[in-house]
């Protein structure tokens, strides 16, 4: 089992473009033995304390294996729309647990 936590920071004004990418990419996860365990949208008002700014979204995703994760990352449909992610995402902080 592989679990990925992502803190996604979206460029100001590019939220709709990011949501377009997510609407195309997230439904592919189950095809690769994956589960979207949590998708949480945050904002500055939810931040209680810390050195990091609040991300736009937090994702918690699991896959049965590293091979399943790699197959999802290489999915042709997902790759076809990566330009939307590149246009809208400022940065992603990823924590991977195997």
pLDDT of residue 55: 95
SS (H, E, C) the chain: CEEEEEEEEECCCCHHHHHHHHHHHHHHHHHHCEEEEEEEECCHHHCCCCCCCCCCEEEEEEECCHHHHHHHHCCHHHHHCHHHHHHHEEEEEEEEEC
User: Which of 41, 82, 33, 79 lies closest to 58 in space, CA to CA?
Assistant: 41
Residue 32 CB: number of other CB atoms within 10 A? 19
pLDDT of residue 88: 98
Q: CA-based diameter of the chain, in Å?
A: 40
pLDDT bucket at 32, cuts 50 / 70 / 90: very high
What does pTM read for this prediction?
0.90
Average pLDDT over residues 4-31: 97
Query: Is 2-97 a CATH 3.40.50.300 domain?
Result: no
Q: Round the average pLDDT of the chain to a whole number and report it.
A: 95
Q: Break the chain into its structural domains and give their ranges.
A: 2-97
Question: pLDDT tens digits, residue range 35-65?
Answer: 999 999 988 888 889 888 899 999 999 999 9
């Amino acid at each position: 089992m592989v679990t990925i936590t992502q803190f996604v920071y979206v460029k100001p004004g590019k939220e709709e473009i990011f949501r377009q990418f997510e609407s195309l990419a997230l439904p592919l996860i189950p095809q690769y033995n994956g589960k979207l365990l949590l998708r949480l949208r945050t904002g500055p008002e939810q931040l209680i304390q810390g050195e990091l700014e609040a991300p736009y979204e937090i994702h918690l995703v699991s896959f049965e294996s590293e091979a399943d994760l790699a197959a999802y990352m290489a999915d042709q449909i997902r790759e076809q729309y990566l330009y939307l992610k590149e246009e809208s995402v400022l940065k992603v902080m990823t924590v991977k647990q195997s």
